[in-house]
Every structure is written in C-alpha cells, then in structure tokens.
Amino acid sequence: MKGYIVFDWHEFITTPIYQFFDPLDEKRIAMKVITGYKFDNEYYKFTNAYGDLFSFSISKCGAEIGSIKHVELIEKFGKDVRLDKIYYINIWNGTGMDTIYKESFIIKNAFKDTIPEEIANKIDMLVCDYSRGIYYCNDCGKRITKKEIGGRYFAGKYCKDCWIGKTGTYKGKGGWQKLEKEETYE
C-alpha cells in the first residue's frame, strides 16, 4: 500500500516553505505508519490545471563552504550568498520517472515566503506542457516531442544532440549516451 500527500496547485504555490519540512515530515511519518510503506519525498505531489499528478521535493541547500556546489551557488547568486537561505526544488512526473524541473532559489523568511513567483510560473508552464506531450531536454532546455527524445539517463530526457554530445554539458565527450552506457545502475 502507498500513501501520498497531494497539494492542489494553489496550495502548492501558496504554502510557506517551512511547511514542506517539519509539519509535512510529521504527516509523512504518520502515513508511513498507517500504510506500512517505506515513504520518500517522491510521494509528495501536486496537481496541475489538467488534474495530472506531479511529484516534488523541496530541500535545504546543504552545500559546504568551499565545496564545488558552494562555488556554483556563488556564481549564480553572488559572493555574499547565505547558504542557509538557499533551497532546491525538484519536480518529476507523477511516477517520478521523468524529471520536469530542478532549480535553486533564495528564501529570506521560510516561515512566510512561498515558492518564488517566477519559479512557480515556470513550473506551471512546464507541467502543463508535459500534460500536452511537450517535453524539454534536461540539459539544453530545448523543447522536444516524444519522438525527438534522443535518450534517457535515469529520470532525464535528452534531445538527440545532447544525447550524442553535439551540444550540452558533455559536448564533444560522447554526450549523455556515453554516461548511460558506462552506468552500472548499482
């Protein structure tokens, strides 16, 4: 048996960030006891305008000062960024098999601030597109159809050019295809 905690769209975008931690964690633990199921963040869901379910997780930064992640966050947010104010959001389709979106953002007051409006608008667009069969390459962001997916690596979907390494993060290095071939999935 599985249990889900489901937010409608309005609840999802208007819930203060702190609610996704301690109060939600108490509900998660209660669901775990009730269902006897090993429960994970992927079982927090919201619905979009089409009524489709999407899984999500919101987490605190967790980067250590001086780490590669810290350097990346400084490049994104500036040298005075406070790591304790940075959060991550990950969105997947309802089964957790397709990554829809991931982003980091700054929250000044987790007890009153919600998901930033520009991120909520982006998520709304992406999940509505997903419901209509429109996808985006998880590397370059190019809009693609199901037929234009070059390949998959874990929950990521990649356009044909990023998949073979013509463009994207692994340009000239064999692309995501090479990573997938070398993956042991252990």
Tokens of 159: 């356009």
How much is the pLDDT for 123?
97
Q: How far is CA 104 from CA 49, 74, 107, 116, 166, in A?
A: 24, 12, 10, 11, 27
Residue 33, CB-side half-sphere exposure with 13 Å CA sphere:
5
How much is the pLDDT for 62?
82
How much is the pLDDT for 26?
72
How much is the pLDDT for 57?
87
Domain ranges of the chain: 5-132, 137-186
- From the first residue on, what is the mean pLDDT of each consecutive set of 10 residues in the chain (186 residues)? 80 90 70 65 81 91 87 91 91 92 93 95 97 95 95 94 92 90 84
Q: Cα separation of 38 and 177, whole Å?
A: 32
Place of tokens 């037929």: 147
The pTM of the full predicted model, rounded to 2 decimals, is 0.84
How much is the pLDDT for 28?
67
